Structure 1
Amino acid sequence: MNAAVETPTPTPTTEHATIRTRRRLVYIGGAGLGVLALLALAGYWFTTGRYLESTDDAYIRADWVALSSRVAGYVATVEVEDDQPVQAGAVLVRLQDRDYQARRDRARAAERQAQAAIDAAQAHRELAVQRIEQQAQATLKAEAAVHSASAERRRSQLDLQRYQGLVRDEAATTQRLEQALAAANQAKAVEQGAKAAWREQQAQQRMAKAGAAQAEADLQQRQAAFESASAERRLAEQDAQDTVLRAPVAGVVGQRRVRAGQYVAPGQPLLAVVPVAQAYVVANYKETQLARMRPGQPVQVQVDSFPGHAFKGHVASFSPASGNVFALLPSDNATGNFTKIVQRFPVGILLDLPANGPQILPGMSVVTTVDTRTSEPADAR
């Protein structure tokens, strides 16, 4: 006969022991994984995490330019549309320039007239200089005549004295003495006339010099008038050029408020040019986060508009004061009630944007994380 084989049925005590053993293994494994995770987290914090300074009080900025006209006038044409990319120097708006062209032509004519007046004044000055030279020669000639007349008068006086002695000695006739006396009187008169002519030539020479000085002063006046006319011409040309408004930087057109036929005044905002390619980040870090920050440290930038994309950059600059200092109404802590508030300082961050990456626009919110490990000594790291 075949005997029936009975399988031993496990007792409840054995089953409970097995379950407890499994649970113990699970707990031990979970605890081990937790310890490993804590060790990994501690290692990350010690090697990297404690050097990272992050803030979500950060935004994309750009130094956009509000374009306005320097001259008044009616708008002839608007060459751009909203949100249109433009290059530096591109024509944006043209004003009607008929009046400014006429003013420029009138200024140019006035400049040419002033130049002609300068040429005439220079010719007059040259004539005055030649007159001075001519008068100087005439004065020298008159002076020579005076010397000649003086010599003749002295000779005639000597002849008179000699004939007076001869008449006393009855060696000469009285008629001869009278002739010598007449010659002496005539020589004296000639000398006086020569001196008078010399003084007249000297006066003429002084008048010629005064005329030359007057001609020089007139030339200076004409030159000043020419410089004034040249300045007016340059202003008129500048006004004519300012009727064409050009983009000061490369960027995108925004806030276009100008329309054709509109009258614009100097300084009136017409449109804005935003240099999107030159966008940067301004992150407002707490003062307690700035201890190890230095220019040039790498920064990771996460833009809210692109949650799955991380951008790179580097610290460029630090604000010289906190935002509270530059506020319109800064807080006054010299009061009876004082509450210490951690201040924030704007930190400039330049982006290292890829060539074909997402387009980052000013005003977007970002989260920045600065790696300050570059400020630690190598042995400390």
Structure 2
Amino acid sequence: MSKTNTNTTTNRTDRLISRITTIIATVVVVFLAIWGIRTLLHQWKFEETNDAQIDEYINPVVAKVTGYVEEIRYEENQEVKKGDTLIIIDNSEYAAQQQEAEASLLNAKAEVNILESNVSTTAQSSKVYQSQIAAAKAKLTHQEQEYDRYKKLYDVESATKQQLERVEAALAVARSEYNTALDAYQVSLAKINDARVQQSALEAEIKRRAAVVTKNDLNVSYTIITAPYNGKMGRRTIQPKQLVSAGQVLAYIVDWEAGKWVVANFKETQIRHMVVGETASIVVDAFPGKTLTGKIESLSGATGSRFSLLPPDNATGNFVKIAQRIPVRIRLDGSPDDLKVLSAGMNVNVSIAKERR
């Protein structure tokens, strides 16, 4: 009797286990079927890739002048506003050059004033010479009349030869004085012209020295390096009292004003359904519960491998067909404040609906 009871209990346990196993298997199969159908439907409607990263402009901060670093006013990974002072370079040498250039400019302007005064003085002298010319001409006319009168008297023997020679000598003196006055007047005009030519040359020199002053002003201003836009500083690699050269990269700044975008590398077989302006869904690996949106800005004109340092050459003989990737640029929607939490280089998953054409 006990053996019969034991067999009955065993059969009931087996049936229960079998029923539970069947239920579990059915649930798993249904789940896998639902998951498979959803996956197939999603793949039929969307193109996806996980070969995508956040990108933004990371620009170098470059020194425009050579000098010693006097002060550094930022820390690594510090947020900065446009116009904030980042680095101060010792400007004592450039300030001295600026003062010298300003003094040189003032000296050139003073020389122009002196020339203007000389032109004015020479012009007044020329007026005096004009009066002397008028007086000499009147005297010459009088002596010519005297000579004509004495010549007629001498011809009728009413004057002596001595008197005629005296009048003739006076005429020669008057003519000489007239010519001298004319020459002096021409010399004064030539001096005025020379002064004006020198003045034109000095005015050109003033422009040159003014340009030197402007250049030195710029050099002095370049010793104070400011943030070109709102952003975030990168790693700090310089120290105070360090000598830096013109053109040297001093730091890197992430540009927040230019916005952020995603570069998604889709397979060449996926891009046939993509058009500019199409909406994309983006999930950042760092924030899996948050979905971002963006719009396709452009598709690359060549595969990523073509932009590499050594593009592949399939004519070398060893060829293996590999699906190439086409970079697709997607502009992220949202305000700069909302996108601050995203950093360049973060991995994302991108999903784009297929455009049926």
Q: TM-score range by the shorter chain?
A: 0.7 to 0.9
RMSD over aligned Cα, in angstroms?
A: 3.8
SS at match of 2:313: coil
Provide the residue aligned with 2:10 in structure 1. none
| Residues 1:218 and 1:362: Cα distance change in structure 2 (over 3 Å) | closer
- Once the 2 structures are TM-superposed, how far is the Cα of residue 216 of structure 1 from its aligned partner? 1.5
- Does the 8 Å contact 2:147/2:171 carry over to 1? no
Quick one: which amino acid aligns to residue 240 of structure 1? T
SS at match of 1:309: strand
Provide the residue aligned with 2:16 in structure 1. none
Provide the residue aligned with 1:368 in structure 2. 350
- Once the 2 structures are TM-superposed, how far is the Cα of residue 221 of structure 1 from its aligned partner? 6.0
Provide the residue aligned with 1:140 in structure 2. 130
Provide the residue aligned with 1:294 in structure 2. 275
SS at match of 2:107: helix
Deviations 1:11-47 (A, max 9, x none): xxxxxxxxxxxxxxxxxxxxxx9xx989x879x95xx
Deviations 1:183-222 (A, max 9, x none): 6314422333223323431453254235414642562365
Structure 1 counterpart of 2:266, from 266, 278, 285: 285
- 1:191-210 counterparts in 2 under 5 A? 191-209=174-192
Quick one: which amino acid aligns to residue 134 of structure 2? A
- Once the 2 structures are TM-superposed, how far is the Cα of residue 283 of structure 1 from its aligned partner? 0.5
Provide the residue aligned with 1:255 in structure 2. 235
- Does the 8 Å contact 2:122/2:191 carry over to 1? yes
- Does the 8 Å contact 2:299/2:327 carry over to 1? yes
Identity of aligned residues (%): 26
| Residues 1:123 and 1:91: Cα distance change in structure 2 (over 3 Å) | closer
- Once the 2 structures are TM-superposed, how far is the Cα of residue 125 of structure 1 from its aligned partner? 1.7
| Residues 1:187 and 1:261: Cα distance change in structure 2 (over 3 Å) | closer
- Once the 2 structures are TM-superposed, how far is the Cα of residue 111 of structure 1 from its aligned partner? 3.6
The count of residues paired between Structure 1 and Structure 2 equals: 325
Structure 1 unaligned blocks of 5 or more: 1-32, 168-173, 377-381
Provide the residue aligned with 2:142 in structure 1. 152
- Does the 8 Å contact 1:299/1:313 carry over to 2? yes
| Residues 1:203 and 1:263: Cα distance change in structure 2 (over 3 Å) | closer
Provide the residue aligned with 1:326 in structure 2. 307
- Does the 8 Å contact 1:135/1:204 carry over to 2? no
- Does the 8 Å contact 1:65/1:272 carry over to 2? yes
SS at match of 1:295: coil
SS at match of 1:248: coil
- Once the 2 structures are TM-superposed, how far is the Cα of residue 299 of structure 1 from its aligned partner? 0.2
- Once the 2 structures are TM-superposed, how far is the Cα of residue 83 of structure 1 from its aligned partner? 3.3
- Does the 8 Å contact 1:294/1:372 carry over to 2? no
- 1:50-89 counterparts in 2 under 5 A? 50-89=44-83
Provide the residue aligned with 1:238 in structure 2. 221
| Residues 1:215 and 1:360: Cα distance change in structure 2 (over 3 Å) | closer
- Once the 2 structures are TM-superposed, how far is the Cα of residue 320 of structure 1 from its aligned partner? 3.0
Provide the residue aligned with 2:92 in structure 1. 101
In structure 2, how many angstroms separate the alpha carbons of the residues matched to 1:345 and 1:152? 106
Structure 2 unaligned blocks of 5 or more: 1-29
SS at match of 1:234: helix
Report the more deviating stretch, 258-267 or 343-352. 258-267
- Once the 2 structures are TM-superposed, how far is the Cα of residue 251 of structure 1 from its aligned partner? 3.0
Quick one: which amino acid aligns to residue 147 of structure 1? K
In structure 1, how many angstroms separate the alpha carbons of the residues matched to 2:339 and 2:205? 64
Report the TM-score, using the length of structure 2 for normalisation.
0.74
Structure 1 counterpart of 2:104, from 104, 110, 114: 114
| Residues 1:215 and 1:91: Cα distance change in structure 2 (over 3 Å) | closer
Report the TM-score, using the length of structure 1 for normalisation.
0.70
- Once the 2 structures are TM-superposed, how far is the Cα of residue 137 of structure 1 from its aligned partner? 2.3
| Residues 1:263 and 1:179: Cα distance change in structure 2 (over 3 Å) | closer
